[in-house]
Amino acid sequence: MTIFVCTLLWSLSLLLQALHEPKMLRIAHLQRPAFLKPVRWTRFALPVLALMLCFLERASTAVLVWAATFSLAAVLVALGWSALARYREYFSMGARKNL
């Protein structure tokens, strides 16, 4: 359960980080969303929350679980983002054809 929650928190944090990167936005043909400014510190708070959860479950292995879930979340976000970029590329090509 901790692994699942930590992966979710890390995924959210990395997703917010990706939304802050101009290169990532450009690849996915996205504009910077307006809601990002108020939640810009959330991407740093979520990993801390995940670490606290890991410590609460078992202090001796907390850092290991925390690091492993970060890796898993990074792959999930990377795969999701590439799928989104592909979808958006098709979408923008279709729109151009209609014009």
**Residues near another protein, by CB under 8 A:** 3-4, 14, 17-18, 21, 23-24, 27, 60-61, 64-65, 67-72, 74-75, 77-79, 81-82, 85-86, 89
Closest contact distance (angstroms) between CB of 86 and another protein is 6
Give me the least distance between CB of 93 and another protein, in Å please. Answer: 12
Q: What is the DSSP letter of 14?
A: H
- Separation between Cα atoms, residue 11 and residue 50, nearest integer Å: 11
Answer for the pair 46, 17: CB distance below 8 angstroms, yes or no: no
Residue count (the chain): 99
Smallest gap, in angstroms, from Cβ of residue 53 to another protein?
14
Q: Return d(Cα 42, Cα 39) in angstroms, integer.
A: 5
Taking the least distance from each CB to another protein, the nearer of 53 and 70 is: 70
